[in-house]
Amino acid sequence: METVLQVKNLSVTYRNKNRSVQAVRDVSFELQKGDSLGIVGESGSGKSTLAMAILQLLPDRAAEVSGQCRFCGRELLGLEPRLLQELRWKELAVVFQKAMNALSPVHRISTQIEDIYREHEPKASRQEIRERAMELFQMVGLPERVYRLYPHEMSGGMLQRVSIAISLLHSPKLLIFDEATTALDVVTQGQILEEVLRLESVMHMSRIMITHDMSVVAAACSRTAVMYAGHMMEIGDTVQVLKRPMHPYTQGLLRSFPTLRGQRRELESIPGTLPDLSVQQPGCVFAPRCSCGDGRCHAQQPPAVRMEDGRTVACWQYGGGGHE
């Protein structure tokens, strides 16, 4: 199977005059062609920073990115701006969280689509661009009249569909959704997720979905990665991770999430708060909040261990003779 994205030991550190904050630390994973990966975790866990690092959209002066990030065999880190510009939107696209902020409020949708399309196809005619837009509008469930509208004339769900259509203009190999359905109502979110799954099967693209909503991952992703304080805690098949979570943090997340099926139970929050990422953590970053941590957890960072079912877990319970 073709590997679309290979991330190895990717770290991101934000720096200013006073301190450094390690937002992402030694994250590694692979994404195959046609695969869909959901990345979940609390706010501040580094999910969006990871996505922006892959896209090379972090400010050079404030963020230091290290490690490896290979997209279709090409290393993205350190790639010339001109070559990056050729890749973005054509082969590597993103749908941001708030479509209203991603689109210009003073230009019609048609003008914005034409500008974006001509960035990679400068000789394209207006008619050619319009035909491509209409094809995508039909795919994402938008009427033709949207093409001549301004963003303020549309609902949040329509704007999000426009953003998805724009991201698909050049049929990218990898599409990243950064909390793209968070601000939508449940019905609209469900409709968009259905459209995404249908488009994925038609266009054979790979997808990364950044979210804090476990139900989104369960409904729309084949694999799930759990992040906490910049670290990858657990990654594997979605059904395995959500039905039989192994890492204590994954277990805590699921206990705090309501379910509509099965026996009713009281929701449990994870005690404590995220650590100060400007302070070096000697052991497991989750140890201060973990109910089953021991001395080793506070002293040494656990290695990522590959389990028999194919998932990877970073916890002393599953490698190195830690606690039971």
Among 220, 219, 197, 204, smallest CA distance to 34 is for 204
pLDDT exceeds 60 at position 313 = yes
- Asked if 217 and 182 count as a contact pair (C-beta separation under 8 A), the reply is no
Q: What is the pLDDT of residues 56-95, one digit of tens each?
A: 999 988 999 999 999 999 999 989 988 888 888 889 999 8
pLDDT exceeds 80 at position 211 = yes
User: In 33-85, at which residue ranges do the beta strands (DSSP E only) sit?
Assistant: 36-40, 63-71, 74-75
- Asked if 92 and 71 count as a contact pair (C-beta separation under 8 A), the reply is yes
Mean pLDDT across the chain, nearest whole number? 88
Note every long-range contact of 269-275, with CB atoms under 8 Å and residues 24 or more positions apart, other chains counting: 274/42, 274/44, 274/45, 274/228, 274/229, 275/229
The C-alpha atoms of residue 160 and residue 234 are separated, in whole angstroms, by 30
Q: What is the pLDDT of residues 234-263, one digit of tens each?
A: 999 999 999 999 999 999 999 888 775 666
The C-alpha atoms of residue 22 and residue 276 are separated, in whole angstroms, by 9
- Asked if 54 and 65 count as a contact pair (C-beta separation under 8 A), the reply is no
Mean pLDDT: which of 67-81, 176-190, 201-215, 247-261 is highest? 67-81
pLDDT exceeds 90 at position 141 = no
| Half-sphere CA count of 232, side-chain side, radius 13 A | 26
Structure-token pair, residue 97? 């969280």
Structure-token pair, residue 291? 């109910």
Overall residue count recorded for the chain in this entry: 324
Structure-token pair, residue 305? 């261990």
Query: Residue 118 CB: number of other CB atoms within 10 A?
Result: 14
What predicted TM-score, i.e. pTM, was given to this entire model? Answer: 0.89
What DSSP string describes 33-53?
TT-EEEEE--TTSSHHHHHHH
Place of tokens 């690092």: 53
pLDDT at 258: 75
pLDDT at 99: 67
pLDDT exceeds 50 at position 304 = yes
- Asked if 193 and 219 count as a contact pair (C-beta separation under 8 A), the reply is yes
pLDDT at 323: 39
pLDDT exceeds 50 at position 200 = yes
Q: Report residue 324's pLDDT band, with 50, 70 and 90 as the boundaries.
A: very low
Q: What is residue 220's three-state secondary structure?
A: helix
pLDDT at 260: 57
pLDDT exceeds 80 at position 108 = yes
The C-alpha atoms of residue 196 and residue 202 are separated, in whole angstroms, by 10
pLDDT at 121: 92
The C-alpha atoms of residue 169 and residue 140 are separated, in whole angstroms, by 12
Among 200, 211, 197, 131, smallest CA distance to 172 is for 200
R_g of the chain, CA atoms, integer Å: 21
> Which one is predicted more confidently, 260 or 22?
22
**% the chain with pLDDT above 70:** 95
The lowest-confidence range among 148-157, 195-204, 266-275 is 195-204
pLDDT at 261: 65
